[in-house]
Amino acid sequence: MGHDKLRKFAENETFSCLKQPSSEGVVLRTGEPGLHLQDHPLKGRWGADVFGNDRPIVLELGCGKGDYTVALAERFPSMNFIGVDIKGARLWKGAKYVTENKIANAAFLRTRVEFLEAFFAPGEVAEIWLTFSDPQLKSPSSRLSSPEFLRRYCRFLAPGGTVHLKTDSRFLHEYTKAVVKASDYPVLACSADVYVKGLPAGAPPAAPQQGKLPPVVTEIQTFYEKMFLAEGYPITYVAFTPCGEPAAPDFDEKFWKQAEGGRRSFSHAPHKKQ
């Protein structure tokens, strides 16, 4: 492990806005199949113990360096924002900025998304943002907008709560739309090109934009978003209200994998167009 990572990990321990519980504290080793969780002391207590208020809580899952979480917190002081990621070296940047700039309505949680039910009580979360999540082309159950994950979110998302997906991945965008359609969830807004720059030549046709996009969708750009835009890839968005049991989608995996191409990697670094 490099010295810079060690330095960041050490500094992370000093940030009160960054919570880093061990997995042993929330995962029960029962010997039985499946994931078994026990409640963390912060469950149902984020407003009182972390933010000192009862304002709505918004999560960004897979927040990386936390730039979207921070930007949302700065724009919406009447709400509380929590960035979630498993990578401590990434979270360091956001936690350091929040600490140095005394941003009282932003915090970070270092944990796996699979463990979130141990940290948030029913109805405790008002909104969820999925920003440039890995599309997990080979693992449907690992996609953060899959029925498996939506089922988890519904256990702590308030009634009428919103899930936002903003991504450069047309594959993930279309997959999520298919899940939403199969589940009969209300769609609040949807666009295959939020900046209306036009899809690349040869790209599958997109449905007309649905609903009015929140201004924040185009006002805030993450590190990766800027990279993707510089390479000419459209940014997509869909917002919906999960209500009821999610359903498996009718989705043409092969077609949309071919449409996606081979430009993405797990690190999110885009490949140059050929």
Tell me which amino acid residue 194 is. Answer: V
pLDDT of residue 1: 63
| CA–CA gap between residue 53 and residue 148 (Å, rounded) | 31
Q: Give the Å distances, CA to CA, from 140 to 171, 226, 251.
A: 11, 27, 11
Strands in 62-156 per DSSP E: 80-85, 106-110, 125-131
Q: Looking at 134, 168, 184, 250, which residue is catalytic?
A: 134
User: What is the percent of the chain where pLDDT is above 90?
Assistant: 78
- 43, 78, 42, 39: which is closest to 58 by C-alpha? 78
pLDDT of residue 267: 44
Active site residue 134: yes
Complete DSSP assignment for 221-254: --HHHHHHHHTT---EEEEE---S--------HH
227: exposed, middle or buried (C-beta count within 10 Å: 0-12, 13-18, 19+)?
middle
pLDDT of residue 200: 77
Strands in the chain per DSSP E: 18-19, 57-61, 80-85, 106-110, 125-131, 157-167, 187-191, 236-240
Quote the mean pLDDT of the chain.
Answer: 92
The stretch 188-193 carries a mean pLDDT of 96
Domain regions of the chain by residue span: 7-16+39-260
The stretch 3-10 carries a mean pLDDT of 89
pLDDT digits (tens, 9 = 90+) for 191-233: 999 998 777 777 888 898 999 999 999 999 988 899 889 988 8
Domain 7-16+39-260 has CATH 3.40.50.150: yes
pLDDT digits (tens, 9 = 90+) for 104-151: 999 999 999 999 999 999 999 999 999 999 999 999 999 999 999 999
